[in-house]
Amino acid sequence: MRKKIIAGNWKMNIKPSETAALIKAVAEATKDYSNVEIVCCTPAIDVPAAVEAAKGTAVGVGTENCHWKESGAYTGEISTGMIVDAGCKYVITGHSERRQYFGETDETVNLRTRAAIAAGLTCMMCIGETLEEREAGKLVEVIERQMNVGLKDVTAADCAKLVIAYEPVWAIGTGKTATPDQAQEVHALIRATLAKLVGAETAETVRIQYGGSMKPGNAAELLAKKDIDGGLIGGAALKAADFAGIIAAAAAAN
Ligand code: PEP
């Protein structure tokens, strides 16, 4: 039984002074859903306020990126040791916006993912195809490459700290959602690819989130699918009521 995991990705949207109110509102609105793992991934500068506000609640805090080196001359980056020290338990790696705007590659996603797992963080590694890749019939090739390279040297034991987020790039922030059947088809492919990498038994235990314009109105039908174990939520994570609506759908789907 895979516990559903719903994680918000705040991106560059919430200021430190706005953070405590949003975390507290999320915690209050979701306090009855103990069968769902609830996470807010915030800008690094919001983390102290988020961790403080989340104390004594079921909301876990994470960051939106991490570097693979422990320390050094990497201006603008944050290490996994810093993230753990700040009180986070989660991190996102390989988000499509980092791939698109910040030169992230499958190889650097692999380095960040391995560093996150080694530090004891639960790592939500994002993969997903662009519209051009889908229309060119390259969906399977892209997903397999992102999985094979992104998870190079990740062991079956490491998978206890791994979550895969399937985020079709064409559905992120666009209002276009993959249909539940389209999403399930790719989630099944991801699990089958994972089985080849770490064994079928381990692959069955790894949670695979869907991300891409998930909202209260479409969450239930997506989360009802066999291989959809949660969501990575952008826009709808910025309003506690919307985020809680998705978590309620996950609780009912469990
Ligand atoms: C995301 O950025 O991970 C995401 C899924 O965004 P949105 O929910 O806004 O599409």
pLDDT 10s digits, 104-138: 999 999 999 999 999 999 999 999 999 999 999 99
Give, for ligand 1, the residue of 5, 6, 9 to mutate: max count of ligand atoms closer than 8 Å to Cβ: 9
Q: Is 222 in the pocket of ligand 1 (CB under 6 A)?
A: no
Residue 247's H or E segment, with its range, is helix 240-253
User: What's the pTM?
Assistant: 0.97
Q: Is 212 in the pocket of ligand 1 (CB under 6 A)?
A: yes
Above pLDDT 90, what percent of the chain? 97
- For residues 193, 197, 199, 205, the Cα torsion angle rounded to the nearest 10 degrees is -70
Dist CA 27 CA 153 (whole Å): 36
